Amino acid sequence: MKVNIGKKILTTNEEYAAKNRQILSEKKKFCLNMISSPGSGKTTILSRTITELKGKIKIGVIEGDIQTDIDTQRIMATGAPAVQLNTDGACHLSALQVNAALKKLPLDGLDLIFIENVGNLVCPSAFELGENAKIVVLSVAEGDDKPAKYPAIFAKSKVLLINKIDLLKTAGQVDFDIERAKTDARRLNRNIEIFPVSARTGEGFADWCNWLIKAVKNQKH
Amino acid sequence: MKVNIGKKILTTNEEYAAKNRQILSEKKKFCLNMISSPGSGKTTILSRTITELKGKIKIGVIEGDIQTDIDTQRIMATGAPAVQLNTDGACHLSALQVNAALKKLPLDGLDLIFIENVGNLVCPSAFELGENAKIVVLSVAEGDDKPAKYPAIFAKSKVLLINKIDLLKTAGQVDFDIERAKTDARRLNRNIEIFPVSARTGEGFADWCNWLIKAVKNQKH
């Protein structure tokens, strides 16, 4: 007897992803599922994005981590509402977990919900959470070969944020060819939007924040 | 009906892990399973380790990647034998894949086999490959909160390599408190050996290579 458990799990996840999509669509909220390796700077990007968009877009965050609420504490320090999800070992968030978190967020007062997934460049790309789009973050410290080596998430994402570009200023300290990363990412995904940024210095954030403002506006119409 | 597929898969993996362990033990080869996030510097560490230990220890490498043979090309440029395994989307190597790779390596001429797992700080920690020990690599660019946030692999590893310490020399460019990372890792794993290194400059490699020389010698007796 062959039992196709893999398919069953995905179907349950898809059911909840559809529920989440409906909640977000009815309330006209824009939702982004942020995926990257551990330590690429997702939380720092979110903190700066929230601060730079204060008074323009109201942002809430769902924080996914295996353990700890370190990231939720960091987000709440910016004044934005945040809900922590701990997966206790699981390598990605599920739509069921996100469904519970959406109920805890003050959705009516928000324009944009970021889901910060578990730090993992592989598994989260296979699980829809009900988001409008996926965003992949790659830091220059990780190397420019990552789109070629981990293609799935680059193929599925609407936006690629190339973070920590401040590390490129010191000659010879970090080898990262931005053009190679862009070319490889676009080979997988012709329409991917690419923003080189530094969450530490704020470089590149104007373009990224303008993209968010437009995306949120489109969602409301 | 409840079908416990999770357990079954692990058991098949365990069977092959036991086979691998037997092959390595009979031939008195020392084998390390290297695990980290994408881009922490595993391949660069291996290249420098092979070069620094030339004439002392004969090293072979099993390279795990989702796609491409970029890393195997880099290892073979050092003159060491290497076998590429592509998982085609899977987030970790399996013991079955490693079993096939062990048969392709010139084992009799080697002292030490490194398995470079798929870049993923979560999933590979749950799958034994038949190795003598796991090694976790954390680069300072990833942040000092990673042992707390991704505890499983730090709890299970014999060695923690803290890589890219050259990035700490430029004041204020990378926030990473080595003492915090060490304390958190030792809280999870009292006996973990910790080597701060730079695969770029070679700093810290003397201690790491001495540890390898001793470990290989112990395996032969």
- pLDDT given for residue A29 in this prediction: 97
Residue type at B216 in one-letter notation: V
| Record: contact B141-A141, CB cut-off 8 A | yes
**pLDDT digit string, tens, across residues B169-190:** 876 678 899 999 999 999 999 9
- pLDDT given for residue B4 in this prediction: 57
**pLDDT digit string, tens, across residues B49-83:** 999 999 999 999 999 999 999 999 999 999 999 99
Q: Are A138 and A109 spatial neighbours (Cβ–Cβ below 8 Å)?
A: no
CB-based contact, A38 to chain B, within 8 Å: yes
CB-based contact, B133 to chain A, within 8 Å: no
CA-based nearest distance B41→chain A, Å: 8
Q: With contacts defined as CB-CB under 8 Å, which chain B residues touch A40?
A: 142
pLDDT band at A11, cuts 50/70/90? confident
Q: Which residue is closest to A65 within chain B, CA to CA?
A: B149
> For chain A, what percent of residues have pLDDT higher than 70?
95
Average of per-residue pLDDT across B76-91:
97
- Average pLDDT over chain B reads 94
Helices (H), chain B: 5-26, 42-52, 70-76, 95-104, 146-149, 151-156, 178-188, 205-220
| Record: contact A39-B142, CB cut-off 8 A | yes
Average of per-residue pLDDT across A143-167:
97
CB-based contact, A174 to chain B, within 8 Å: yes
Structure tokens at A149: 């080596």
Q: Which residue is closest to A123 within chain B, CA to CA?
A: B91
pLDDT band at B27, cuts 50/70/90? very high
Q: Are A38 and B37 spatial neighbours (Cβ–Cβ below 8 Å)?
A: yes
pLDDT band at A169, cuts 50/70/90? confident
Nearest to B38 among A3, A91, A150 (CB): A150
Instruction: Give the best residue of A67, A173, A177, A180 to mutate against chain B (max B CB count within 10 A).
Output: A173
Q: Are A160 and A166 spatial neighbours (Cβ–Cβ below 8 Å)?
A: no
| Record: contact B39-A141, CB cut-off 8 A | yes
| Record: contact B119-A143, CB cut-off 8 A | no
Q: Are B202 and B209 spatial neighbours (Cβ–Cβ below 8 Å)?
A: no
Task: Give the domain ranges of chain B.
Answer: 5-220
Residues 182..211 of B with a Cβ closer than 8 Å to A: which? none
Average of per-residue pLDDT across B198-219:
96
| Record: contact B121-A119, CB cut-off 8 A | yes
pLDDT band at B48, cuts 50/70/90? very high
**pLDDT digit string, tens, across residues B137-160:** 999 999 999 999 999 999 999 999
- pLDDT given for residue B3 in this prediction: 54
Whole-complex ipTM: 0.90
Nearest to A31 by CA among A137, A127, A111: A111
Q: With contacts defined as CB-CB under 8 Å, which chain A residues touch B40?
A: 142
Nearest to B68 among A37, A91, A149 (CB): A149
Structure tokens at A209: 């924040």
The CB density around residue A177, as the number of other CB atoms within 10 Å, is 14
Instruction: Give the best residue of A43, A67, A68, A121 to mutate against chain B (max B CB count within 10 A).
Output: A121
- pLDDT given for residue B2 in this prediction: 53
Average of per-residue pLDDT across A67-84:
97
- When comparing pLDDT for B179 and A173, which is higher? B179
Q: With contacts defined as CB-CB under 8 Å, which chain A residues touch B141?
A: 39, 139, 141-142, 164, 167
Instruction: Give the best residue of B118, B140, B145 to mutate against chain A (max A CB count within 10 A).
Output: B145
Residue B36 pLDDT > 60, yes or no?
Answer: yes
| Record: contact A166-B146, CB cut-off 8 A | no
Give how far Cα B63 sits from Cα of B69, B73, B83, Å: 8, 10, 6
| Record: contact A150-B66, CB cut-off 8 A | yes
Nearest to B173 among A119, A139, A167 (CB): A167
Structure tokens at B20: 């691998």
Residues 6+ apart with CB under 8 A from A172: none
- Looking at the domain covering A5-220, what would its CATH class be? alpha beta
Nearest to A75 by CA among A66, A89, A65: A65
- When comparing pLDDT for A174 and B184, which is higher? B184
- pLDDT given for residue B7 in this prediction: 57
> At CB < 8 A and 24+ separation, what contacts does A46-50 make?
A46/A75, A46/A114, A46/A116, A47/A74, A47/A75, A47/A77, A47/A78, A47/A199, A48/A199, A48/A202, A48/A205, A49/A114, A49/A205, A49/A208, A49/A209, A49/A212, A50/A75, A50/A78, A50/A79, A50/A80
Q: Identify the helix (H) or strand (E) that includes residue A178.
A: helix A178-188
